[in-house]
Structure 1
Amino acid sequence: MEVNYLLSRSYVNEVPDTELIEYAALIPEGPILDIGVGNGRNAFFLAQMGFHVLGVDISEEVVNECNRRAQELKLPVRAIYSNIMDFKIDENTYACIICSYVLPFLKRSDALRLIERIKHGLLPQGIALIKTFTTRDPGYIRLKKKGLSEVEKNTFYSPKLRSYFFYVEPGELKELFTDFKLISYAEGYSLDITHDEPHYHGWASVLAQKPGK
C-alpha cells in the first residue's frame, strides 16, 4: 500500500505554535527536531532564539524551500527529505521534538510507535510538543458517514489521496504522556482559516517534559 502521509504539508501557516511561544524558555540546551517541518514556522522561530533545528518532511519541494530560507536568513535550520517512519531518531539526542499535525496522516500503529520514538529521542528534561486531530473533527465524522472501513482503530485509508487519516479519542493523547511531566494539555474545536476555505477541526495538543537530569 503506497502512502503519502503529508500530502505536501498543506496544513501550514506562518505563525509558530502557541505552546512554543509560551514555553520556549523551558527548552534545555541542545538540538531540536521538527517532524513535518513544512515552511519552517516553528523551526525558524526557535532558530532565532539560538537553537539548531533539524527539520524532516516528505515533500522535497518544501525541504528545498526551507533550506533556501535558512540560507537567506542565515539561521541554523537544516531540512532533510524523508518519510518520518524511515528516519532514525537517535536516542537521548534532542532538547525538543515537535510533531505538529503529522500524526493525522499516519495509521494508528505507526503514530503510537512514533510517539515512543519521540520519547526515546529526547534528552532528559527535553520537551515534546505533539498536536493532532481528535474524533470530534468533522473529517472523522464525514469518513464514518461515508462508510469507509477502518484499517485500524480510528484510522482510514484513502486510495485516491494515498494517505491515512488517523484521529485520537478525547483524552487519549494526554494518557500517552503519563510518564512525562505535563506542562500543557488542551483539546478544542475551532475554526481554521490558514488554508483552503474556512473550516473546523477537533484537535488535541500536549506539551510534556521528559523526566531525568
Structure 2
Amino acid sequence: MKVSYLLSHSYVNEVPDTELIEYAALIPEGPILDIGVGNGRNAFFLAQMGFHVLGVDISEEVVNECNRRAQELKLPVRAIYSNIMDFKIDENTYACIICSYVLPFLKRSDALRLIERIKHGLLPQGIALIKTFTTRDPGYIRLKKKGLSEVEKNTFYSPKLRSYFFYVEPGELKELFTDFKLISYAEGYSLDITHDEPHYHGWASVLAQKPGK
C-alpha cells in the first residue's frame, strides 16, 4: 500500500513523523511499540500498513480515546495506561520503537536509561525513532534565565507543573546511537504550529537500526 494513499486517508488530524513516512519500508516484521502514543498519529499510520502497535501513555484519557478509535476503525492498535519508567520493555521483541518527544519530560538519568531499554527491546535490525528537544530550545533558555537550578545535567524540575524538563546537547542524541546503524539524523530550530500559540523549538531526531540478523 502506497504511503501517499495512507496519508490521504489518514484517520488522525496530524500526520505521522516524517522519518516514518520516509523509512517505514525498512521496518522488519514484528510488533511496534509507540511510547507516548498521544493521539495515535504514528500508531494508526503504521497500523494501516499492517503492523500491530502497542501504545503506552501516561494520560488515561488519551489511552481510552486511542482504544476507542482502534476499535471503531478495526485497526491493530492497543494502548495501555502507564508511566513509561514503570512499563516493562521486553528484550528482543519489537520491530520498531518510537519515542517522539517523551524524553523532554524525564530527568536525564531516566531518559538515558529509557534509551538503553529501547535498544534492548528491539529485534535485530529493528528500528528506533527518538525525537527530543535540545539546549537550543527557547524553553531551555527561559529556564536558565529564571535561575531554576538543575536537578541533573540540563534537567530542571517545576514543582508547579510537577514535571521534569530535560534537553540534550547538540550532537548528544547521535552519540548515544554509535552502536547502531544510523539511517537518519537531524537537528533543527523550527516553528511549531500544532498546538497553543505558534512557538519555536530546538530539536534533534535520530532514526537508527539495531545490528544483527
- TM-score, normalised via structure 1 length: 0.94
Identify unmatched segments of 5+ residues in structure 1: none
Give, in whole Å, the separation in 2 of the partners of 1:84 and 1:3.
30
C-alpha contact (below 8 Å) 2:133/2:201 kept by paired residues: yes
C-alpha contact (below 8 Å) 2:11/2:44 kept by paired residues: no
Give, in whole Å, the separation in 2 of the partners of 1:36 and 1:11.
18
Q: What is the root-mean-square deviation of aligned Cα atoms in Å?
A: 7.2
C-alpha contact (below 8 Å) 1:3/1:162 kept by paired residues: no
Pick closer, same or farther for the CA change 1:156–1:202 going to 2, 3 Å: same
State the partner residue of 1:136. Answer: 136
Choose between structure 1 and 2 for higher RCO, CA contacts under 8 A separated by at least 6 residues.
1
Q: Please state how far the C-alpha of 1:13 moved relative to its aligned partner.
A: 6.2
Pick closer, same or farther for the CA change 1:117–1:12 going to 2, 3 Å: farther
Pick closer, same or farther for the CA change 1:142–1:10 going to 2, 3 Å: farther
Q: Please state how far the C-alpha of 1:10 moved relative to its aligned partner.
A: 20
Q: Please state how far the C-alpha of 1:4 moved relative to its aligned partner.
A: 37
What percentage of aligned pairs have identical amino acids? 99
C-alpha contact (below 8 Å) 1:47/1:75 kept by paired residues: yes
Q: 1:141-192: per-residue Cα shift (whole Å, max 9, x none)?
A: 0000000000000000000000000000000000000000000000000000
State the partner residue of 1:163. Answer: 163
SS in 2 for 1:5: helix
Give, in whole Å, the separation in 2 of the partners of 1:164 and 1:38.
18
SS in 2 for 1:45: helix
Identify unmatched segments of 5+ residues in structure 2: none
Q: 1:130-150: per-residue Cα shift (whole Å, max 9, x none)?
A: 000000000000000000000
Give, in whole Å, the separation in 1 of the partners of 2:127 and 2:96.
5
State the partner residue of 1:199. Answer: 199
Q: Please state how far the C-alpha of 1:9 moved relative to its aligned partner.
A: 24
C-alpha contact (below 8 Å) 1:6/1:102 kept by paired residues: no
Pick closer, same or farther for the CA change 1:28–1:88 going to 2, 3 Å: same
Pick closer, same or farther for the CA change 1:150–1:11 going to 2, 3 Å: farther
Pick closer, same or farther for the CA change 1:118–1:186 going to 2, 3 Å: same
How many residues end up aligned between the 2 structures?
Answer: 213
Q: 1:78-116: per-residue Cα shift (whole Å, max 9, x none)?
A: 000000000000000000000000000000000000000
Q: Please state how far the C-alpha of 1:14 moved relative to its aligned partner.
A: 1.4
Pick closer, same or farther for the CA change 1:13–1:182 going to 2, 3 Å: farther
C-alpha contact (below 8 Å) 1:16/1:42 kept by paired residues: yes
C-alpha contact (below 8 Å) 1:107/1:166 kept by paired residues: yes
C-alpha contact (below 8 Å) 1:134/1:169 kept by paired residues: yes
Q: Please state how far the C-alpha of 1:15 moved relative to its aligned partner.
A: 1.2
SS in 1 for 2:84: coil
State the partner residue of 2:49. Answer: 49
Q: Please state how far the C-alpha of 1:5 moved relative to its aligned partner.
A: 35
Report runs of 4+ in structure 1 exceeding 2 Å deviation: 1-13
Q: Please state how far the C-alpha of 1:12 moved relative to its aligned partner.
A: 11
Q: Please state how far the C-alpha of 1:6 moved relative to its aligned partner.
A: 28
